[in-house]
Structure formats: C-alpha cells, structure tokens
Amino acid sequence: MSDQVSPSEDQSTGLIKSTQELGAGLFLMAVAAFAYWQGFDLPRGSLRAMGPGMLPMALTFMVGAGGLLMVIYSFFEAGPRLERWSLRGPFFIFGGIIVFALLIRSCGLMVAGPASMIFAMLASDEFEWKEATIFSIAMTIICILLFKTLLRLPIPVIGTLLEPIFPF
Amino acid sequence: MEAFFGNLALGFGVALTLKNIFLCFVGCMVGTLIGVLPGVGPIATIAMLLPITFGFDPTGALIMLAGIYYGAQYGGSTTAILVNIPGEATSVVTVLDGHQMAKQGRAGVALGMAAIGSFFAGTVATLFIAALGQPLTKLAQLFGPAEYFSLMIMGLVFAVVLARGSILKAICMILLGLLLATVGTDLETGQERMTLGIQDLSDGIDFAVLAMGIFGFAEIVRNLENPETRDVVRAAIGKLWPGKDDFRQSYFPILRGTFIGAILGILPGNGAVLGPFASYTVEKKIAKDPKRFGRGAIEGVAGPESANNAGAQTAFIPLLTLGIPPNAVMALMVGAMTIHGIIPGPQVMTKNPELFWGMVASMWIGNLMLVIINLPLIGLWVKLLQVPYRMMFPAIMIFCCIGIYSINNSTSDVLFTAFFGLVGYTLLKFGFEPAPMLLGFVLGKLMEEKLRQALILSRGSFTTFIERPVSAGLLFVAIVMLALALLPSIRKGRDEVFTE
C-alpha cells in the first residue's frame, strides 16, 4: 500500500520472530472463533444436500487453520515487526463517518456535512478551527448543489428534525 | 464477420445518441476528477460515483459507468506521473519512468503518450471484445455448475499467485472473503446465517460497503498516519503532443503492451493487474539500453499504460460472457448492473443486444473522450493535486459518505462502512493485502450456489469435478499455477517482479 514507509526491519532475535505474523495469525483465529460461535448451530446437511451451515463452518475451520499456521510460523520464520498503531486517525475518521450516519436523517446534509467533516479533520495535526469551519461549510454547499440540485439524489438536506424551522 | 460488423454497428447506433455521448462525457469527466485524487483508486471512485447513475435508463447508466471506469483508470495514471503516488496497483509501474519524465519537464509528453497508448489499446480491446464476445458466450452455455465452480477456483488461485507478499496470507484473505460472503440469508433454505440478529445483514453485506470501507476509508487513515511525501511535479508540464522520436520509440511498446494486457485481462482472478508489470519487464529486457529505464524512458510509460488500459477493458469479457467478475472493479459493475435489473452473464447478449453492444461501443467512445478531455485539462488536474491532504481527506470522506448513503438510502450502510474501514486498517497493520479478500467475497455467493448444484447433480460426490474434462482441466491449471508459485525459485522471481 504505502511505499513511502521504509519496511520495518525483520526481527531475528527473541522467541517470536515476527510480531506482525503472530498478530495476523491471532487475528484470523479470533475471526474464526467468532464465526464458529455465530454459526455452529446452523444445520450442516450432507454433501448430497448441503445445509446452510456446511460452507460457513468449513471456511471457518480453514481460516482458523490458516491463522494457526501463521502463529506457528511466527516463532520460526523471521518477518516484519508489528507497526505502531495510531489511535487518532482511526478515531476521528471513523468517528466522523458515524457522526454523518447519525445526523443525516434527522438534521440533513447541511448539519451532517460540516459536523462530520470538522470531526474528521481533527485527525490531522494541522487542524485549525477557522479553516476547518470555512472549508467544511463550502464543501457542504458544493455537495448540496452537486448531489441534490444537479443529480437529484434523494439525500436529505434539511432533515426531519429541522424541517419545521426551515419551511421551504 | 458480418455479424461482427453488424453488432458493432448496432452498438454505435446506441452509443452515438446525443444523450449517451453526453453521459459518457460526464462519466469520464467526474471519473477522472475523483480518480486523480491521490489515494483514491478506481474501486473507491466507482463506489462513490455509483449513485449518480441511478437516475438514468440501464443503457445510459452503464455507458456512464464505463466512462467513470476509464476516467478513474486514467486519473490514476495522471496521479502516478505527476505525483510520486500510484493510485492503484496497476499504475505502480507508470510511476517509475513517468515521474522521472515529469521531473525532467516532460510530464506533458508522458501524459500525452499514456493517453495515446491507452486510446490505441482501448480500440484494439474493443474489437477484441466484439470478436470474442459471441464465441465465449456460446462456450459459457455449455458450462455446468461443476465447470463454473472450477473456473472460479482457478480465478481465486490466480488471485493468490498474483497477490503481493506471503501466499499463505493471500489464501487466508480469500477464505475470509468467502466467509464474509456467506453472511446473510441462505439461498436455498432461507435461513439467516451469521447475521448477529441485525436486520440489515439479512441481505448479506453490500459489496460497495465492504469495498469502500476497505479501500476508501482504511486508505485515508493509512495516509494520515504516514507523513505526507507528496512530490507534486514543480517542473513545467511541457508540450503534450509527443515528438517524432517519442513516437518512434513508442510504436512497438504500445503494440506489445496492448497484446500482453489484452490477453492477461481475460484471465479470471484479476490478471489485468499483471499486464503493466509484464509489459515493463518485456520492454526492459529487449531494450538496447536497459539503463534508461527508471530514468524517464518513454517506453516504460507507453507499454505499461497500453497494457493497463487493454487489460482494464478485456476484464469485461469474463463478466459479460460468463457472469464472473474477474476483479473487484468488475464486481462493482455487477452491483451497478443488478441495480438496473440486469444480471450479467451470457443471457445479456441474447436478451439485451442493444445494451451489450452499446456498452462495447461506448468503451471505445469513452477512450476517445479521455484523450479529448484529459489532455486539455491537465493544468486543472495539477492544481487539484496541489491541494493539501488535510483538505483533501475530509472531501473524500464526505463524498464517500454521500455515495454510500445514496446507494440504499441507508444509514446503517454508512455505519457498516466505518466498521469495515476499521477492519481494513487492521488488515493493513497485520500485513494482509485486502484485494484477494474482495475477490473471494465477490465470487463467494456464486461459488456456493454452483458447488451445491454440482454436488446435488453428482449425489454428493466430489469426483464430479475431476470426471468432467473441462472442469478437470481448469482445476489442473489452478494446481499447476499454485505449485509453480510455491516453488522457491519462481517465488523469488515473483517477489522481484512486484518489488521492481
């Protein structure tokens, strides 16, 4: 994906030879465990007449087995270290999307737009209130003109909650 | 032969109405506009712009969509040449020599040659589709469930072989994609599977939602994490039309690139992605002076760009003839077609010939449109690329949100997209490449259906996949490919191809 980052050096010392591989394996095993918990009671049927649970369970076991293999490899084969995880980016970006989802019906794009964009912009180190406010309002106006006026998408601009205040 | 021209004439008759030309133009324009943004690849672009096609009749909508597709592809190349950032896997190669040319003040020539090469490749690929469409459709009608299943297995194996990095990880990604595809109501019994009791999941996970989360949002977070190293060309763009020498050097690379790309594009399992790499390698191998490559050799732009566009177009062949999307972008096309009530597959050509041939013709018009729109607008794209990322990402985010919301007018879709964005970010951190997962997801439902049908027909015996010759042949190819990819010597070569 991003080629700018120099690939983190391979680990060769210690018990675990690649924390990234270990994490990847554990992640897959967790997914498999969750899928098993969700799907183990589905009827599996027979090969002649497969039930709804047959394929999901087969795949679940394969994903789990793949995860286990990765965990085992991580003790033997040197590989990349797990990168540092940042919290700020994911929190504000995904938070911004959630803000949009929560506001779009009730308050419409004219509120959801600026609110979600300003929230998301907090993810950047160079955040500035004035710039963010002006930019997000301008973007919202562009979006309304583009998606509502020009393309006639059924996206709410005013929203059910604010409709009584803006009677047009 | 007569049918070939008759069909093309029918297609151009449909595509050349004023309205459809206009739709194609708008599609190319907005496709390029969004596709040029760094970090926004064709998948995110198409998912974002999907709703704008909803208001039109199916033919018009598909023509517009095809325009968006080519625009997005070409936008990626523009970003690759002007900024040192490949928009997607297929323009990675273009960066190598394209950006060097740009630094030498020859960005215009690079962009011009990319457009001309793409146009030529697009023309050939259009004829290719027109010629191959009918025979392949006939072939597809001979396919039973077992053959379909084996073909899709082969496609997934290709995807594993073509994925970067660890093969085990790629296999796991495919399996995860297949597992995600099983979420939702079971096709035969109507029983809900792994929906966590969430009403909105009973129809399964929407492909656009998954793709946008994993390719759109995860990428934004990823970009924010890494300090910005955007290297927008400061040198002059220079003249656009390549000189005599440039043409002389590019004729054969364009021809070879077109051929390589067109062939690889037909392969199921995203063969198109291999085209630019293969073309670049070939050009470098047969060049008199291989040292020029990586320092602004025009062949390194002309060949791969032609291969890229040819592959992007012939990738439609498995979709239109067999109904099997060979990559994630084509899967979005399936979604778009289904919304307009068209189920891709061999029946489209027989039942909706206007639509089928209209779309084929509009591909060519789309390619022409790109040359006409893009070259004069390069100045605008350069301006757009200079917008700092701190302003670009909220804009991308709001477009994505509006796009996803508008597909089903659903707020839960927006929330799911955020969730899958988080999943995508996690996958990137663990060193997984998400593309194979998307392909697994795309083929999952169809594979399960065909597997079940095949096993019912064979009364539960797996030997049906080996007893039927076509199916056995496809599986054999798949096994050979996988075995080759696992061989240490080839594996090394494969790594080299992708790191070069």
Q: How many CB atoms lie within 10 A of CB B74?
A: 33
B364 pairs with which residues across the strands?
Answer: none
The distance between the two most distant Cα atoms of chain B, rounded to a whole number of Å, is: 69
- Shortest Cα distance from B306 to chain A (angstroms)? 23
Indicate yes or no: CB of B179 within 8 angstroms of CB of A4.
no
Using the predicted structure, report yes or no on whether residue A62 has a pLDDT greater than 90: yes
Among candidate residues B436, B36, B35, the one with its CA nearest the CA of residue B273 = B436
**pLDDT at position B498 over 70:** no
In the A/B pair of chains, how many CB contacts fall below 8 A? 194
Distance of CA B163 to the CA centre of its chain: 14
- A25 vs A68: CA distance, rounded Å: 6
Tokens of B419: 């969730």
With beta carbons less than 8 A apart as the criterion, state whether B301 and B98 touch. Answer: yes
Flag whether the ipTM exceeds 0.90. no
User: B402 and A53: CB-CB below 8 Å?
Assistant: no
Q: What pLDDT score does B420 carry?
A: 93
C-beta atoms of A113 and B398 within 8 A? yes
The fraction of chain A above a pLDDT of 90, given in percent, is: 30
- Which residues make Cβ contacts (< 8 Å) with residue B109, sequence separation at least 6? B101, B238, B239, B240, B241, B242, B243, B246, B298
pLDDT band at A7 (very low <50, low <70, confident <90, very high): very low
- Best of A41, A62, A100 to substitute, by most chain B Cβ atoms within 10 angstroms, is A100
CB < 8 Å to B229, chain A: 4
What residues of B are in contact with residue A53 (Cβ under 8 Å)?
A: 193
Pairwise CA distance, residues A122 & A142, whole Å: 21
Alpha carbon distance B234, B83 (integer Å): 10
Lowest mean pLDDT among B4-13, B25-34, B168-177, B252-261: B4-13
Amino acid B214 reads: I
Hey, is A151 helix, strand or coil? Answer: coil
Q: For residue A109, which residues of chain B lie inside 8 Å, CB to CB? A: 402
Mutate to test the interface with B, among A1, A128, A161 (most CBs of B within 10 A): A1
What average pLDDT does the structure give for chain B? Answer: 82
Q: Which residues of B touch A55 (CB under 8 A)?
A: 178, 182, 448, 451
| pLDDT exceeds cutoff 70 at A168 | no
Q: Nearest chain A Cα to B185, which residue?
A: A52
B339 touches chain A (CB under 8 A): no
- Across the interface, whether the CB atoms of B430 and A42 are under 8 A apart is answered no
pLDDT at A98 over 90: yes
How many Cβ atoms are within 10 Å of A87's Cβ, its own excluded?
Answer: 7
Token couple for B317: 């062949």
Which is nearest to B417 in space by CA: B194, B218, B174? Answer: B218
**A48: distance to nearest CA of chain B, Å?**
4
Q: Which tokens sit at B493?
A: 């070569």
Report the gap between the CA of A130 and the closest CA in chain B (Å).
13
Segment 44-73 of chain B within 8 Å of chain A by CB = 51-52, 54-55
Distance between A166 CA and the closest CA of chain B, angstroms: 22
Q: Give contacts of A77 with chain B, Cβ < 8 Å.
A: none
Closest partner residue to B417 (CB to CB) among A39, A97, A155 is: A97
Chain B residue at shortest CA distance from A64: B172
Q: Which residues in chain A have Cβ-Cβ distances shorter than 8 Å to B430?
A: 20, 23-24, 27, 82
- Write the pLDDT tens digit of every residue in B249-296: 888 888 888 998 888 888 776 667 778 888 888 888 888 777 788 787
B109-166 pLDDT per residue, tens: 888 888 888 889 988 988 888 888 778 777 777 888 888 888 888 888 888 877 777 8
CA distance B67 to B362: 8
The answer to whether the Cβ–Cβ distance between A101 and B219 falls below 8 Å is no
Tokens 């789990």, located at residue: A64
Res A138: pLDDT: 92
CA distance A56 to A60: 6
Nearest to B452 by CA among A54, A152, A94: A54
Say which residue, B34 or B272, is predicted with more confidence.
Answer: B34
Residue to test with chain B: of A20, A46, A55, most B Cβ within 10 A: A55
Mapped to the 3 state alphabet, what secondary structure does chain B carry?
A: CHHHHHHHHHHHHHHCCHHHHHHHHHHHHHHHHHHCCCCCCHHHHHHHHHHHHCCCCHHHHHHHHHHHHHHHHHHHHHHHHHCCCCCCHHHHHHHHHHHHHHHCCCHHHHHHHHHHHHHHHHHHHHHHHHHHHHHHHHHHHCCCHHHHHHHHHHHHHHHHHHCCCCHHHHHHHHHHHHHHHCCEECCCCCCEECCCCCHHHCCCCCHHHHHHHHHHHHHHHHHHHCCCCCCCCCCCCCCCCCCHHHHHHHHHHHHHHHHHHHHHHHCCCCHHHHHHHHHHHHHHHHCCCHHHCCCCCCHHHHHHHHHHHHHHHHCHHHHHHHCCCCCHHHHHHHHHHHHCCCCCCHHHHHHCHHHHHHHHHHHHHHHHHHHHHHHHHHHHHHHHHCCCHHHHHHHHHHHHHHHHHHHHCCHHHHHHHHHHHHHHHHHHHCCCCCHHHHHHHHHHHHHHHHHHHHHHHCCCCCCHHHHCHHHHHHHHHHHHHHHHHHCHHHHHHHHHHHHC
How does residue B190 score in pLDDT terms, banded at 50, 70 and 90? confident
Residue B357: predicted pLDDT? 84
Residues 342-361 of B with CB under 8 A from A: none
Is residue B178 less than 8 Å (CB to CB) from chain A?
A: yes
Q: How far is A98 from chain B (nearest CA, A)?
A: 6
Segment 364-383 of chain B within 8 Å of chain A by CB: none
Residue B230: the pLDDT is: 64
Asked whether residue A5 carries a pLDDT value surpassing 50, the answer given is: no
CA B440 to CA B163: how far, in whole Å? 13
Q: Which residue has the higher pLDDT, B218 or A26?
A: A26
pLDDT of residue B88 exceeding 80: no
Cβ separation A90–B223 shorter than 8 A: no
Residues in chain B within 8 Å Cβ distance of A89: 220-221, 224-225
- Going from the C-alpha of A127 to that of each of A167, B37, B84, B270, B383, the distances in angstroms are 35, 20, 25, 40, 22
CA distance B190 to chain A (A): 9
Give the integer Cα–Cα distance in Å for A1 and B108. 27
Q: Which helix (H) or strand (E) holds A9?
A: none
- Residues A18, B166: contact at Cβ < 8 Å? no
- How far apart are alpha carbons B425 and B218 in whole angstroms? 5
Residue of B26, B93, B99, B172 to mutate, interface with A, max A Cβ within 10 Å: B172
**B38 neighbors B230 (Cβ within 8 angstroms):** yes
> Stretch A45-68: mean pLDDT, rounded?
86
Cβ-based neighbours of B262, under 8 Å, separated by 6 or more? B121, B124, B125, B128, B310, B311, B313, B314
What is the pLDDT averaged over residues B200-221? 83
**Alpha carbon B451 to its chain's center:** 26
Tokens describing residue B376? 């004069």
Taking the alpha carbons of B360, B365, B368, B373 in that order, is the dihedral positive or negative? negative
Are A66 and B186 a contacting pair at CB < 8 A? no
Confidence label for B45 from pLDDT (cuts 50, 70 and 90)? confident
The radius of gyration computed from the CA coordinates of chain A, to the nearest angstrom, equals: 24
All residues at 6 or more sequence positions from A111 whose CB lies less than 8 Å from its CB, including other chains: A103, A159, A162
Count of C-beta atoms within a 10 Å radius of residue B379? 9
Mean pLDDT in residue range B39-45: 79
Picking from A46, A73, A127, the nearest residue to B460 by CB comes out as A46
pLDDT at A97: 93
Residue with tokens 């803006």: A166
- pLDDT of B194 above 50: yes
Q: Which residues of A touch B186 (CB under 8 A)?
A: 52
- Phi/psi region, residue A85 (left: phi>0; alpha: psi -120 to 50; beta: rest), is beta
Interface of B with A in 226-265 (CB under 8 A): 226, 229
Strand partners, B192: B185
Residue type, B353: P
| Closest Cα in chain A to B399 | A143
- Cβ B52–A153 below 8 Å, yes or no? yes
Q: Does B499 touch chain A (CB under 8 A)?
A: no
Query: What pLDDT shows up at residue A2?
Result: 37
Provide CB contacts within 8 A for B464, sequence distance 6+: B146, B454, B455, B457, B458, B471
Euclidean distance between CA atoms A147 and A141, whole angstroms: 10
Nearest-neighbour CA in chain B from A165: distance (Å): 23
Rounded-to-integer distance, Cα B380 and Cα B465, Å = 54
CA atoms of B173 and B433, how far apart (whole Å): 8
Task: Using CA coordinates, name the residue in chain A closest to B448.
Answer: A55
